[in-house]
Amino acid sequence: MNIKKKFRKIPLIFLLTEDFPDVNLTEITANGFPNLYKAGNNEKVREIMLGLLAAEGLPPRTEVPHPVPISKEVRNAIAAARGTE
C-alpha cells in the first residue's frame, strides 16, 4: 500500500453493507494500519467515533442561556400568566 506512515495512524472505520459484506482486518493491520474498526450500521459508526473522540467520556451538556435577555417586564408578565392559570 502506497500510503505515508503518518496517515496510517488515522483510525479507519469500515461500514459493512450488502456490497461490502466483510473485510479482513488482520491483512490490513499487517500492512501497517493499527487502528481499524468494522461497523454494521451507522449507529455503530457513531459509537466508535464517540469512543475515539472522547475516550474518557463525553463532558456533560451545560445549559446555554437564552441568546436574548428577557426584560423584567416580560418576566413579570410570564409569572403573572402562570399564576392565573
List pLDDT tens digits, range 28-59.
Answer: 888 888 899 999 999 999 889 888 887 777 66
Say what the pTM is: 0.57
Pairing, β 36-39 against β 12-15: parallel
Q: Name which residue leads in pLDDT, 53 or 1.
A: 53
Residue ranges of domains in the chain: 1-58
Higher pLDDT, 60 or 72: 72
Give the CA dihedral 43, 60, 65, 82, nearest 10 degrees. Answer: 90
> Who contacts 26 (Cβ-Cβ below 8 Å, separation ≥6)?
none
Full DSSP string of 44-80? HHHHHHHHHH-TT-PPPPPPPPPSSPPPHHHHHHHHH
Residue 31 C-beta-side C-alpha neighbours within 13 Å: 11
pLDDT at 62 over 80: no
Question: What pLDDT score does 16 carry?
Answer: 93
